[in-house]
Amino acid sequence: MTDFVEMFRHWNAGRSQLQINEALNIDRKTIRKYLAPAMAEGLEPVPESFDEELWRARIGRWFPELVDPAARALTWSLIATHHQWIDDQLKVPVTVATIAQRLRDDHGVEVSESTVRRYIATTFTEQRLRSRENPCRTSTRTPSRPTRRRHPVRQMLPHARRPSRRPR
């Protein structure tokens, strides 16, 4: 939302959409989309004053999905019905990828892994802070030894020599 407050700050200072595009590197169609409600309400740029809290409230009223990520997440209600099960899975060291896969396979919830990852990051914030672990990266596997990068030919044929170069 910070970018949009900054965009309205530029607009309120009297800059054109092209100037806002060049300054903030936001697409002109996106600028037009987000400035439309302000123009529809008849607001005019007032270069001498900019009340950030007032503009944040306006942006929140016009675009609630920018303030609350759950408002734009259409599948979160499907995931929320399994909240306690996800909580139990997070207490056992299970990766988010596994949780997402089990939601799809065992519970019939058609959601992507990234959606499950965002849901967990948003709704289990306190738990993540308490455990000091990131549930998105939790893994029970520990590498036995560091892996070594190998030349592609040597990887296919472990006993082969390096390919020799021919003199020209």
Task: Classify residue 156: in a domain, yes or no.
Answer: no
Between CA 16 and CA 14 the distance in angstroms is 7
Which of 32-46, 57-71, 83-97, 123-137 is predicted least confidently? 123-137
Return the closest-CA partner of residue 45 out of 1, 5, 23, 15. Answer: 15
Task: Classify residue 63: in a domain, yes or no.
Answer: yes
For residue 92, the enclosing domain spans 76-131
CA distances from 16 to 7, 29, 143 (A): 11, 13, 55
User: What's the number of domains the chain is made of?
Assistant: 2
Task: Classify residue 162: in a domain, yes or no.
Answer: no
pTM confidence score: 0.44
pLDDT in tens, 28-41: 998 999 899 989 98
pLDDT in tens, 99-156: 999 999 998 888 888 888 888 888 877 665 555 444 455 445 555 555 666 555 555 5
Which of 13-27, 64-78, 93-107 is predicted least confidently? 64-78
Task: Classify residue 150: in a domain, yes or no.
Answer: no
Domain boundary among 67, 93, 110: 67
Looking at residue 133, its pLDDT comes to 47
Looking at residue 129, its pLDDT comes to 55
